[in-house]
């Protein structure tokens, strides 16, 4: 029987140089200037870590290694990759140690997470941000990995990547974005597939424009429940004038309503220049007549902002997904459902 994020939360109650090196401040934090990691190239070694939920299948690691090999990459596993502490992939100290070790290791060029689950928020105070800033590397994952992606950028300015994890489906669609962004340093357009199959019109992966228009700003975002759990901490970036993208899985509509309300009350939504909601997989109104729909919730919270916004982008717990760089300037077209990177995410 699989365990949902909600159930887990209830149980819990070197290559090229970076473009800019952050400067230490008296507080021990770092400047928020953009810090781009080196791009990937054939023969590089990728560190595989598991900072959130435990994996119970050793074949998950084999799948990740074979995937990386198909990309022309080598793999190095974290010392605690297969640890287990309840539903977590080891103790907080062990999981944090794997992150810190991979960033400090000169033989590791990038870092991939094996899976999501829950647990990354528990590590944020244990990470060596000074070392991470000195050794900028690609970090990629999604779902619970959202907290690492946001925190590393907030503390060091490092561009991080909301994209496939080791056990994801690395099909042609998803892998193409990984190659173009992480290997080729391309500035890409991201639009939903337009294939209608043998239908008279498109019925799959459609977008719903909430408010039309164009907007520019830095991309931030990730999983809605993880992001809202970080509100009030100093591990979130500055959202002023930014484009926020969100995704979710397995949440009742009233919970999505509650979390968007939290972002509203925290002042985050009012700071945005643009908004993109990806997929809300298995987010249903439920039985009876008492529920709002997701469309109504987005109309309530997002439409009054008057900013370019849409729902249905290829972001989330889905097989065909974009790779979204956090901290990079982008432009969105809410009528077309298009995200355009205005600069490369790696050097």
CATH code for the domain of 299: 3.50.30.60
Would you tell me how many other CB atoms lie within 10 Å of the CB of residue 86? Answer: 13
Burial class (CB in 10 A: 0-12, 13-18, 19+), 306: exposed
Q: What does the alpha-carbon distance between residue 347 and residue 343 come to, in Å, rounded to a whole number?
A: 10
Pair 207, 64 in one domain: no
Q: What does the alpha-carbon distance between residue 36 and residue 347 come to, in Å, rounded to a whole number?
A: 6
Q: Is residue 328 part of a domain?
A: yes
Residue owning tokens 């977008």:
207
The pTM of the full predicted model, rounded to 2 decimals, is: 0.91
> Model confidence over 264-290: pLDDT tens digits?
999 999 999 999 999 999 998 776 667
Pair 198, 159 in one domain: no
N-terminal to C-terminal alpha carbon distance within the chain: 43
59: left (phi over 0), alpha (psi -120 to 50) or beta: alpha
Pair 289, 152 in one domain: no
- What the block records as the tokens of 190 is 């991201």
> Model confidence over 295-341: pLDDT tens digits?
999 999 999 999 999 999 999 999 999 999 999 999 999 999 999 99
Higher pLDDT: 65 or 195? It is: 65
Pair 206, 234 in one domain: yes
Pair 193, 154 in one domain: no
Domain boundary (163, 183, 203) is at 183
Q: Is residue 154 part of a domain?
A: yes
Pair 14, 150 in one domain: yes
- What the block records as the tokens of 126 is 């244990």
Q: Is residue 145 part of a domain?
A: yes
| Contacts of range 81-84, beta carbons closer than 8 Å, 24 or more positions apart | 81/48, 81/49, 81/50, 81/114, 82/50, 82/55, 82/58, 83/50, 83/54, 84/54, 84/56
- The pLDDT value given to residue 284: 83
Q: Is residue 281 part of a domain?
A: yes
Q: Is residue 277 part of a domain?
A: yes
CATH code for the domain of 163: 3.40.50.10740
Pair 124, 222 in one domain: no
Pair 177, 251 in one domain: no
Q: What does the alpha-carbon distance between residue 245 and residue 307 come to, in Å, rounded to a whole number?
A: 13
Pair 194, 241 in one domain: yes
| 38-42, 185-189, 197-201, range with the lowest pLDDT | 197-201
Picking from 315, 317, 342, the residue whose alpha carbon sits closest to that of residue 328 is 342
Q: Is residue 240 part of a domain?
A: yes
Beta strands in 65-163 (DSSP E): 74-77, 110-113, 138-141, 160-162
Q: Is residue 347 part of a domain?
A: no
Rounded to an integer, the average pLDDT of 82-104 is 98
Q: Is residue 346 part of a domain?
A: no
- What the block records as the tokens of 236 is 């979130």
Domain containing residue 207: 189-341
- The pLDDT value given to residue 19: 45
Residues designated catalytic: 143, 247, 317
pLDDT(157) > 70: yes
Number of domains in the chain: 2
- The pLDDT value given to residue 10: 52
Percent of the chain with pLDDT over 70: 90
């Amino acid at each position: 029987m699989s365990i949902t994020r909600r159930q887990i939360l209830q149980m819990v109650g070197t290559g090229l140089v970076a473009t800019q090196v952050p400067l230490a401040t008296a507080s021990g934090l770092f400047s928020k200037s953009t810090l781009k990691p080196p791009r990937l190239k054939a023969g590089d070694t990728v560190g595989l870590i598991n900072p959130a939920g435990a994996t119970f299948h050793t074949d998950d690691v084999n799948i990740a290694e074979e995937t990386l090999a198909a990309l022309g990459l080598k793999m190095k596993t974290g010392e605690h990759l297969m640890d287990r502490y309840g539903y977590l992939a080891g103790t907080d100290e062990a999981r944090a140690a794997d992150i810190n070790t991979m960033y400090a290791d000169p033989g590791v060029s990038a870092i991939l997470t094996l899976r999501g689950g829950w647990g990354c928020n528990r590590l944020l105070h244990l990470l060596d941000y000074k070392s991470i800033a000195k050794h900028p590397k690609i970090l990629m994952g999604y779902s619970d990995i959202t907290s690492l992606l946001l925190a590393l950028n907030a503390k060091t300015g490092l561009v991080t990547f909301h994209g496939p994890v080791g056990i994801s489906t690395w099909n042609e669609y998803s892998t193409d974005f990984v190659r173009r962004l992480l290997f080729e340093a391309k500035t890409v357009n991201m639009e939903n597939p337009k294939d209608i199959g043998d239908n008279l019109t498109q019925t799959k992966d459609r977008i719903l424009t909430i408010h039309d228009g164009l907007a520019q700003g830095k991309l931030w975002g990730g999983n809605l429940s993880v992001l809202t759990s970080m509100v009030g901490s100093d591990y979130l970036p500055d959202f002023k004038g930014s484009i926020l993208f969100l995704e979710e899985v397995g949440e009742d509509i009233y919970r999505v309503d509650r979390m968007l309300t939290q972002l509203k009350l925290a002042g985050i939504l009012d700071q945005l220049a643009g908004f993109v909601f990806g997929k809300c997989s298995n987010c249903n109104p439920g039985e009876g007549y008492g529920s709002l729909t997701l469309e109504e919730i987005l109309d309530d919270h997002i439409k009054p902002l008057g900013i370019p916004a849409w729902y249905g982008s290829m972001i989330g717990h889905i097989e065909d997904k974009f790779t979204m760089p956090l901290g990079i300037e982008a432009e969105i077209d809410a009528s077309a459902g298009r995200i355009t990177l205005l600069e490369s995410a790696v050097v």
